Structure 1
Amino acid sequence: MLKGTLKSLLAAALLAGTAISAIAADYTIRATANSNENDEDYDGLVVFKNYVEAASNGAIEVELFIGTQLCANGAECLQGVADGTIDVYISTSGGAAGIFPYVQVLDLPYLMADDRVAEHVLSGDFTRKMREMALESSGGKIRLMTIGNTGGWRNFANTKRRVAAPADLAGLKIRTVVADLPQELVKALGASPTPIPWPELFTSFQTGVVEGSKNGITDIMSMKFPDAGLKYVTLDGHAYMGALWWMSNDNFMAMPEDMRRVVVDGFYQLQQATFASPKRKSIAAYEEFVADGGDLYVPSPEEKAAFKEAAAPVYDWFKANVDGGETIFEALTSAVESAEADISTARTADVN
C-alpha cells in the first residue's frame, strides 16, 4: 500500500514538473559544473533546479551544463560569470584562487574540526564576508551565493607507509596543485610538494613520480588509485573540501526581489544536498578501500594535535602573502570559535 502511494506521489511530482516546464519562463539560469553526473556538484544542481523551477511556478528555468560544454577551467568559467554568459558556476578554492586568492583560506589545515563545525560556519556570516570581498574584487560582477561541499574532507594518502605523525610524511613526494598554499602545507609537514595535473596522477603513482596525495576517499576510489599502488590513508581531515557557488551578480540583481528570494532559497537547498551527499558516498568508498587491502588509519586526538602544530607556520604564511589573507583568516577563525561555542551549548542541552 505504502509503495503504491509513493509511486503515485512520484508520478504526480513528475507530471507537475512537466507542466511547470511547459510554461514559458521569464528568466533562464545557465548553470555549469566541470564534473560529471556522479559528483556531489551534480546532486546539488539537480536539487537547485527542481526547487527553483517549482518555487517560481515556472517563472525561472534552470539549464544544466555538466562537463566542459560552456567552459573548461576556473579562470574561463569565472570570466563567463563576470560577462554574464554563464549564470552559475561551481569551483573549488584552488579553481578560484587566481581571481580571489583569499578563498584559499578554506584550504588552511585543521581549522574546522568536523562536519558539524564546517556546516555551521559556512551557513553563516563567514560566507557573507567572503561574498562581500568577492563582489569588491570583481567590480560587482561575481557574487558568491553559497559554500557547500565537494568530496568530504582532504586526507593524506600514500603508496609507502602508514602515516600516524608528521614525521611519517618526511621525504614523501606528495602531489599538489600548482597553488602556493598546498605546497607550503606539504613543506611544513616535511614532505616534498610535487605539482601534477589531475589526469596524470594515476600514472604518476604507478611510476613513482609521486608517492602520495591530499584527496577525499570518493575521489581516490572513483579514480581507482589503489590499483596504482595507493594503499595508505590517514584520516587527518586537514581540509574541508569547500565548493564555492558563484553567480553573475548582474543577472541575479536583474531579477525582481521575489525571484531573487527563490534563487537564494534554492542555493540553501543546494548547499544542504552537497553537505549530505559526500557522507553517504564515502561509506561505500571506505568499505571498498579496506576490502581491497587498504590501510585506513584514524589518528588519536593527540596525534591530530601534532599535525596541527606542525602545520601552524602555514597560517602566518597565508596572512602575510595572500591579498586579503589576514581579513579572511580572522573571519574564519572567529566563525569557528562561535560555531564551536554554539554547538557545545546545543550538545549540552541535548544530552541533559
Structure 2
Amino acid sequence: KGAVTLKAGSTSLAAKKTYSLKSGARKTVTLKLKKALAKSRKVTLRITAEGGKTVTKKLTLTRAQGAKATASAAPKRVVAIEWDTVENLHMLGMAPVGAADLKGYDTWVAAPRPKGLKDVGSRQSPSIERIAALKPDLIVVPDYRSTKNLAQLKKIAPVLVTHPYPASGSQLNAMITDFRALANAVGRKARGEQVLQELSNTLARAKTKVKNAGRAGQTVAIATPGGTSSAPAIRMFTTNSATADVVRRLGLKDGWSGSARYGFATVGLEALSRLNGWLAFVYPPQFQRQIASITKTSAYKRLPVVKAKHVRTLGGTTWLFGGPRSTMLFADRLAASLSK
C-alpha cells in the first residue's frame, strides 16, 4: 500500500528479478540502474506485503537530473472540490474525473473544461458517496473546505490540501505555491513551470502596456458586486488579495487598504467616496442588474472617481479567485482597460 520510490544509489537491482519488502520495511528501494535497464526504462516490481500477498507493478522509469528515477505512478483520476483545481488541471493538460458544482463553474469561472465530468455535489458539502464511486487516486481540496470531511476523504484516496488564503502574506504567492503542488502531485512539474513562466511573461507584457499608456504609478482599486439587486453592496479587494498583488505587479498602486481573510471587504456605496485614482469594476454578465442598480443612483454619480471619468469595466467573465489562467486574463483585461 502506498507508492514505492526508486532512487539512484549503490545497490544494484537486476532486471527480471523479484525483490520482496518484508513487514515493516521502508517503501524506498535504492538502486543503481544497469545499462540494459536504463536503456529500456521498463521494470516489473513485485512487492510481497505483510501476510504474504504479492502485488505486481509494471513501471516505466523516467530519468531525471542527478540520475534519479521515480516509479511512483502519477494520479490519473483526480476529484476537484474547488473550481480553481478544475481550471488548473486544464492548464496542466489534465481533466478531473469529478468536480464540485460544475454548473457554478460554467457560470462564474467560464473557463474551458472537458465535457463528461461527474458532478460530486456542492463545494461546501460534496457527496462522499459520489466521490467514492469515481474511485479517485487523488482528491484536491482547499483547507477551508476540508474541516468537516477531511478524514472521510482520506479513507477514499490520498488528499492534497491547498492553502489559497494564508493568514499572512500574498494570496498570489499562495496561488502559485498551490499550483506547483498540484503540478508535482499529478506528475506535470515541467508543464506547471511552463504555465508559471507564461504567467510571468503576461504580467511583464501587461506592465509594459500600462507604462506605454502613461498609467504607471497611478492608483487603481478593484471592485465587484457583493450584494443583491435589492440591497446592492460592493466587494473591494484588499492589499493581501491576489488581485491587488497583480495591480502592484503591473506598476500600479492598489487603491484599497486593509487585509481580509478572503482578500476583499464588503462595503456600501458611500465608502467609495474615499477612492482616489481609478476604479475598475469586474463582474460577469449575471451581475448586470446589480451594476445597473448601483450606477443609476445619485450617490454613485457624485463619487469623485465617477465625476473624473476614472471608472473602467472589465469585459467578459473575469474570475478573481482562480489560478494562473484567470490571473493572466485579469492582468490583460486590466491593462487594456487602462490603455483606453
In the superposition, the TM-score normalised over structure 1's length comes to 0.30
Which structure exhibits the higher relative contact order, with contacts defined as CA atoms closer than 8 Å and separated by 6 or more residues?
1
Q: Which has the larger radius of gyration?
A: 2
1 or 2, which has the higher helix percentage?
1
